Amino acid sequence: MLKTRERIITTQDLADGIQQAIHNAQSEPLVVTENGRPAAYLISVDLFDNIMSQLSSMDDAELRADIETSEYQFAQGAYKTLAEAADLAEQTWKTQESAE
């Protein structure tokens, strides 16, 4: 989870300092915000390649099992809407910011 403000940049900061943002993204993902809300992640090519490699190496049985688990949890009401998840993330960020 996000722990420092340095990992969060605005779209304006990104536009003004693209070289520095790309440099920073080599060591950790950056969250790009627009109007105070997360809009995108800026990640290194190595991290992207690693994620894609992991996704493509997932075995079909594992993927089917994950889908079945998710469907069961959804049927049981153990899920969050996008709005609920966004609210939860916002509360978490505010809590972390106030703790700093």
pLDDT of residue 6: 56
pLDDT of residue 66: 82
Could you give the 3-state DSSP secondary structure of residue 75? helix
Q: What is the mean pLDDT of each run of 10 residues along the chain (100 residues)?
A: 63 91 90 89 92 77 81 78 76 79
Question: Rounded to 5 degrees, what are φ and ψ at 34?
Answer: -135, 125
Complete domains list, the chain, with CATH: 5-99 (3.40.1620.10)
Q: Are 14 and 31 in contact (CB under 8 A)?
A: no
pLDDT of residue 1: 41
What global pTM score does this model have?
A: 0.51
